[in-house]
Amino acid sequence: MSANTKAILELAAREYKWGFVTKIDEERVPPGLSEDVIRLISGKKGEPEFMLEWRLKAYRYWASLEKAQAEPKWANIKYPPIDYQGIVYYSAPQNKASLKSLDELDPEILRTYEKLGIPLEEQKRLAGVAVDAVFDSVSVATTFKEKLAELGVIFCSFSEAAAKHPELVKKYLGTVVPYTDNFFASLNAAVFTDGSFVYVPKGVRCPMELSTYFRINAAETGQFERTLIIADEGSSVSYLEGCTAPIRDQNQLHAAVVELIALDSAQIKYSTVQNWYPGDKDGKGGIYNFVTKRGKCAGRNSKISWTQVETGSAITWKYPSCILQGENSVGEFYSVALTNNYQQADTGTKMIHIGPGTRSTIVSKGISAGHGQNTYRGQVKILKGAVGARNYTQCDSLLIGDECGAHTFPYIEVKNATARMEHEASTSKIGDDQLFYLRQRGLKTEDAVSMIVNGFCKRVFRELPMEFAVEAQKLLGISLEGSVG
């Protein structure tokens, strides 16, 4: 074994440091899914009638899909069948009810977020970031609400939005990701328990980063949250989500839905640092991250930009996409996906060009180490009316060691001859030559690997809000547990 390999194996022995469990009393429904469970969830949340009806329609649709065994099988991932009746669909910290202030929150939960580096007490917050904290199935705290409300920005849990702003929820829910969209999106529509809601009114530039921090704590539960962000005409907002989960032997299902809507000249920037528990070094446990994220550039000159750094989860299946409907609207997707040990990722984007003059940019950086399998799957579709549409795609893979894999599946469909498409792809390997060069200059092997990987991801990190770019870089260093062959 070369010293390089040895040093990297030592690095691999590092543990997932977010894997602790918080001991709190939780309220949960029995495992399994039925119309009764859905009524129960909706009842517990005190939802308006239209929500329950929507959920039930979604549930019936999903049940028909399940019966037809229509769980999607096309992705380049492998996992044993999921027992949907063995999952607990609702789990909440016991004392939830309705909190008037953070003081009423279970101190254990406050401590959990502190341990995760997300202090919820507002005076200690990073300047300029408002946080919505989702613990298991419910939103436990949203900070800076009043300050945002002064500008008319609504930032609250989904439950609260359904109760206080039903007209907005009713108008936009399911308009980008309908409950019939796909198997996991249907499941989410039926059972989602909370999530974040954002509405930015006309002409308002949201003055701070909005952020949701998702934490799965309870065992045997699924997490199904739903995020809905609406940027009204001429407004702009930047939103970030982060996620972690405890170390557990069983796989846990996370099936979220995110819908973004940008009206005329509005801009939404959505950044994700996903660090769900990836499973251990032998591939045991970890989160199944089956997520549907989609944004609609409904208005002219609108823009939606997705940036994701995916280092966690046993399996990642997600394709944050843009529907470019408005004239001259812009869609962007910047992604770093890292798979290590036995992690699998099948991720990418869809850019659907409908309106004239629409433009999209895709930059995907996949890093595979250990036995990790990393797939980029991207679709660029230029419809007939998209006169002068443009797409630029860059898709790079970096291999560490010789037992991992990188796969690329670009789908390009052009129905308008005036469109311009560019596609660039590369695959490279961290070689002994590169490592030796850096070590000969005094850098330790793990620092050398980190440096090479960070350089590889730079184009994407540049898109992250400053504070989080630093976090993402650190995370990548910690998550890198490869072996150099």
Q: Interface with another protein by CB under 8 A: which residues?
A: 2-4, 431-434, 436-445, 447, 451-452, 454-459
Q: Closer CB to another protein, residue 263 or residue 457?
A: 457
Q: How far is the CB of 3 from another protein (least distance, A)?
A: 6
Closest by CA to 61, choosing from 169, 175, 170, 188, is 188
Q: How far is the CB of 450 from another protein (least distance, A)?
A: 10
Q: Closer CB to another protein, residue 30 or residue 442?
A: 442
Q: How many residues does the chain have?
A: 485
DSSP 3-state assignment of 453?
Answer: helix
Looking at this protein, which amino acid is placed at residue 382?
I
Distance of alpha carbon 461 from alpha carbon 363, whole angstroms: 11
Q: How far is the CB of 476 from another protein (least distance, A)?
A: 12
Please, are residues 255 and 188 in contact by the beta-carbon 8 Å criterion? yes
- State the virtual CA torsion across 149, 153, 157, 161 in degrees, nearest 10: 90
Q: Closer CB to another protein, residue 379 or residue 434?
A: 434
Q: How far is the CB of 438 from another protein (least distance, A)?
A: 7
Q: Closer CB to another protein, residue 282 or residue 433?
A: 433
Closest by CA to 352, choosing from 333, 378, 380, 371, is 380
Q: How far is the CB of 238 from another protein (least distance, A)?
A: 24
φ, ψ for residue 461, nearest 5 deg: -60, -30
Q: How far is the CB of 67 from another protein (least distance, A)?
A: 49
Q: Closer CB to another protein, residue 202 or residue 429?
A: 429
Residue with tokens 């921090």: 213
Q: Closer CB to another protein, residue 40 or residue 451?
A: 451
Q: Are strands 154-157 and 196-200 parallel, antiparallel or unpaired?
A: antiparallel
Report the largest interatomic distance among the alpha carbons of the chain, rounded to a whole angstrom: 67
Q: How far is the CB of 449 from another protein (least distance, A)?
A: 12
Cβ neighbours for 321, distance < 8 A, ≥ 6 positions apart? 293, 294, 295, 331, 333, 349, 350, 351, 352
Q: How far is the CB of 473 from another protein (least distance, A)?
A: 12
55 is written with which tokens?
A: 């959920």
Q: Closer CB to another protein, residue 416 or residue 473?
A: 473
Cα dist from 442 to 208, 435, 436, whole Å = 41, 11, 10
Distance of alpha carbon 340 from alpha carbon 391, whole angstroms: 30
Q: Closer CB to another protein, residue 17 or residue 474?
A: 474
φ, ψ for residue 191, nearest 5 deg: -120, 0
